[in-house]
Amino acid sequence: MDTQKLKEKILQLAIQGKLVEQNPNDESASELLKEIEIEKKKLYKEGKIRKPKKLPPIKEEEKPFDIPESWEWVRLGNIGEIIGGGTPKTSKKEYWEKGHIPWITPADLSGYKNKYIEKGSRSITEIGLKKSSARLMPKGTVIFSSRAPIGYTVIAKNKISTNQGFKSCSPYIVEMNQYIYYFLIISAKKINEEATGTTFKEVSGKLVSQIMFSLPPLEEQKRIVEKIDELFKLIDNLDSDKEKLLETIELIRNKVLQDAIQGKLVDQDSNDEPASELLKKIETEKKKLYKEGKIRKPKKLPPIKDDEKPFEIPESWEWVRLGNSCNIIMGQSPKGNTVGEEGIEFHQGKIFFGDKYLKESDKFTIKPKKIANIEDVILSVRAPVGTVNITERQICIGRGLCAIRPLLKIKTDFNYYWIKAFNETLLDKSTGTTFKAISMTTINELVIPLPPLNEQKRIVEKIDSVFNLCELLKKYICK
């Protein structure tokens, strides 16, 4: 299993704003830039940094990928001081003997696996520091090797100095250092491509300061770092037993779904319109659709009893029956069972189900009875019960399937994940001796928790993010 490539993929998602969800309550990166500018002026006034050089503005064609709206493209030198290093004369004993200032070279980082570093194999004296181009960099500086080789990256655990083989970044706001650390790790290959030199390749301080940097809001940076650390730990602890690993991935997926339906996966936002208002809109839409003849007269479903609620949900959520938020279309065989090679695609049972999206059937009918529309959730209602897919095209569904269509335009993936999460409940409610099946009444009366519409979107984004990473893990495990 190529764990290194997997880590690189995770970091790539992170710097593109695809690893964790954006929170509208976060102070934007544009505001963070204002704070950085204030801190930069303060540090210069106090003599703690050199006068910052003006960097060239960013051109549109320089931006390598799209970033979220709350992020900003900046140059690395805009958010931290780029600091080189130096080596005191080795012939001068007073520069080295009894030195107490940590001093590192790229050789100290060969094979080094930790995120933080305290010291290298040698230290220098105060006079050695003063008489060389080495600088004492503050705790939290992101140390980046700029030659022989390019790309070693660590964070200073304390005040530290380096030789001339580094172009380190001391962030003006130190809390940004871990995100910068991960950014430089994934950017090392691209930086190396810009290097010049004959004996050995090297990147200059000017080049490092002009590196394009995707800047998230500070709070999102913290969430990104936390998620990277969590995933990297999981990868590092991977056992060689493939079956156990795949089992663990499945447990993660199930845990994410359980957290999602209980309101524990993403934060609630007090600005979201509550689910009670969403239900009113659904009811209005339901009446409109019935009046237009687009749905049958909705049946009155029984009220929900307290003992039907399996867990506590957030205050802004509501317990509903599935039939009150969706239109359920039970499948039916085509007229006269005429299934051939012409007409509309026909599906019977879960024969052509994929991982998430319905595969193409090899059967067609010119006399369809029940139609599932694009983006309907397709549920198998017998032999077996509970498998779900999404259809990306209009199809005819036969017995063994039903289509679940929201009465109000709700992101299809939300219903897909919700039905998956209640798979066990549907199985428990199935009946039959030869094979198990569930009725339309059972599906209509399924009790589900309904979040506010905006929270539904955040939940889907989060589930997608985790599930995509799980798929990546599976891919690398099964290589």
Backbone phi, psi, residue 48, to 5°: -90, -15
Residue range 296-451 forms a domain whose CATH class is: alpha beta
- CB–CB of 466/252 below 8 Å? yes
Tokens 């290298």 identify what position?
A: 120
Amino acid code (one letter) for 330: M
Q: What pLDDT does 418 receive? A: 94
Where in the chain is CATH 3.90.220.20? Answer: 28-216, 296-451
Which residues are bridge partners to 324 per DSSP?
Answer: none
Q: What is the pTM of this model?
A: 0.63
Per-residue pLDDT tens listing for the chain (479 residues): 567 888 999 999 999 999 998 998 999 999 999 999 999 999 999 999 999 889 999 999 999 999 999 999 999 999 999 999 999 999 999 999 999 999 999 999 998 989 999 999 999 999 999 999 999 999 999 999 998 899 999 999 999 999 999 999 999 999 999 999 999 999 999 998 888 876 778 899 999 999 999 999 999 999 999 999 988 887 777 655 677 778 888 889 999 999 999 999 999 999 999 999 999 999 999 999 999 998 888 889 999 999 999 999 999 999 999 999 999 999 998 876 667 778 899 998 888 999 899 999 989 998 889 999 999 999 999 878 999 999 999 999 998 999 999 888 766 789 999 999 998 899 899 998 778 899 999 999 999 999 999 999 999 999 998 998 888 888 777 76
Amino acid code (one letter) for 406: P
Does domain 28-216 fall under CATH 3.40.640.10? My reply is no
Backbone phi, psi, residue 222, to 5°: -65, -40
CB atoms within 10 A of CB 190: 11
